[in-house]
Amino acid sequence: MALLLASSLTDQIVRSISDDTFTGIHTLSWFDWAILVPYFTVLLILSIYGLHRFEVVRMFFKYRKNVPNHAPKEFEKLPRVTVQLPLYNERYVVAQLLDAISRLDYPRELLQIQVLDDSTDETHQLAESLVAQYNAQGFPIEYVHRTNRYGFKAGALQAGLATVTGEFIAIFDADFVPQPDFLKRTIHYFTDPKVGVVQTRWTYQNRSQNLLTEVQAVMLDGHFIMEQAARCGGRLFFNFNGTAGVLRRAMIDDAGGWQHDTLVEDADLSYRAQLKGWRFVYVPSIECLSELPVEMRGFQMQQSRWAKGLMQAGIKLLPSIMRSNARWRVKLEAFLHLTPNISYPLIIVMSALLVPAMVVRFYAGWFQMMVVDGPLIIANFWSLWLFYILAYREVFPNNWKRSIFLMPVLSAAGVALTAINAKTVIEALIGDKGSWTPTPKYSLQGKAAMRGPAQYRYRAGWLPFVEIALGIVYIMFGAYAVDTYNFFALPFLAIFAAGFFWAAFSVLGSEARALLRFQRERRLALVSAR
């Protein structure tokens, strides 16, 4: 089908080419312009975000020395701290979380622990029982259970503020495992009264569990190693990441509290607070273990929530940011930070235009294609790989060459997000609020849990079949590229096809295995009942 379409398009283009074709020059027809203008417009927009990655790399090396490694001074008397633990159906990790919090090295008389549980499953009973046990041991811990989930995580955090006693609030999601010295290492940065947030660096207890978790770790390292350090060191706005950080209660109130009109309540609060003049501090030397999604569906759900939420935050906040008295550099960085996910629907548009553009460009000649396309490829692909290779080298300086092997896999993982993220970004643009869907977490003992109850799993739905269709389309694009000797495009087309197939068959495979287990267990239950 793709070859027939390409053949038809070729005939159209050949008819539009002047007699100068065989000298290497031809006149572009209206048909050529109708293909090339939107195609290159999309490529240029994508290239802007690609060039921004080069700029982040530059800022990282220029400003990394400005990122603090220790607080400039310490409190003479430690302040009161509240630890908030928002939960929603987290039964596999709640015990691990409470054990880590119970080990925090901070005076109990200055500590308040809030378990903010919105769970609708047996996590409710388990968490309440564990809190009672820790209470009996003398820990200052309280259990708050909501039944309406109003405002999702932001609503739970805002409701918890009603009984907060701490001047500062540390927040940990259910899969995070802070070290015992976490509070004592972070709290002293607040001796500066202008500091509103101290954000620490995420690390990953299951980084090496499979290829997907390893690639996710590299992606997040790009954010935490490069972006956060570059923005903090360059005195630009950056975001609290929703967990593994400490916030000043007065800052939350001054910025308008936790609001739930976006799915990224952390980024929303961060920008509102920084517009108010609060200073944020990023401390990469303080690490906090977390868990990465171990299956493709969980990865897609997490990333699509972040993509949609960040676009919502951009729509909500950018007008205020642009009207503010912030430096133009701060405004530009905020725009590029809040809007990069627009690239996902643009990639879908580019996919639709790819074959026609390949046909038109074929007659332009190799020299013109290299001169025009070369810089765009460098901006889009080289910047991506350089960005993540450098981030990997910062974490593993003695084994950084492995990152070169991971780059095609990382690119394919990015493609695996294209369809679902394009959908959620478009929803954000048209005003669909959506709901806050948690990422499945299983803890280090997760192999048994991953085979667990159906309510912890997602149905595949229609998305994998769309991804299979897109993968087939890219294979046909590749066949046409071979037919027209456009071998330069083959590696990129192969990555796109592999990414779509990886996403689709991973999700469908997981669902098929879950269904087979369910049917087998039901048969065993029926046999036992007899």
Give the residue numbers annotated as catalytic, written as ranges.
Answer: 118, 266
Distance CA 35, CA 28 (A): 11
Which residues, 6 or more positions from 304, have their beta carbon under 8 angstroms from its beta carbon? Answer: 417, 420, 421, 423, 424
Distance CA 329, CA 231 (A): 11
Instruction: Please answer whether residues 504 and 473 qualify as being in contact, where contact means their C-beta atoms are separated by less than 8 angstroms.
Output: no
Q: What are phi and psi of 448, to 5 degrees?
A: -70, -40
Residue 82: strand pairing partners: 112, 169
Q: Rounded to the nearest 10 degrees, how much is the dihedral formed by the CA atoms of 281, 284, 289, 292?
A: 90
Instruction: Please answer whether residues 87 and 101 qualify as being in contact, where contact means their C-beta atoms are separated by less than 8 angstroms.
Output: no
Distance CA 142, CA 125 (A): 14
Which residues, 6 or more positions from 114, have their beta carbon under 8 angstroms from its beta carbon? Answer: 82, 83, 84, 85, 141, 142, 144, 160, 163, 164
Residue 114: strand pairing partners: 84, 142
Cα 315-304-388 angle, rounded to 5 deg: 95
How far separated are the first and last CA of the chain, in Å rounded? 56
Instruction: Please answer whether residues 204 and 217 qualify as being in contact, where contact means their C-beta atoms are separated by less than 8 angstroms.
Output: yes
* Number of helical (H) and strand (E) elements in the chain, helices listed first: 20, 7
Residue ranges with strand state E in 25-165: 81-87, 111-117, 141-145
> Smallest Cα–Cα separation from 174: which of 158, 153, 160?
153
Instruction: Please answer whether residues 416 and 300 qualify as being in contact, where contact means their C-beta atoms are separated by less than 8 angstroms.
Output: yes
Q: Is 24 left (phi over 0), alpha (psi -120 to 50) or beta?
A: left
The identity of residue 314, as a single letter, is G
Q: Which two tokens stand for residue 88?
A: 């929603």
Q: Which two tokens stand for residue 128?
A: 């309440």
Distance CA 262, CA 254 (A): 19
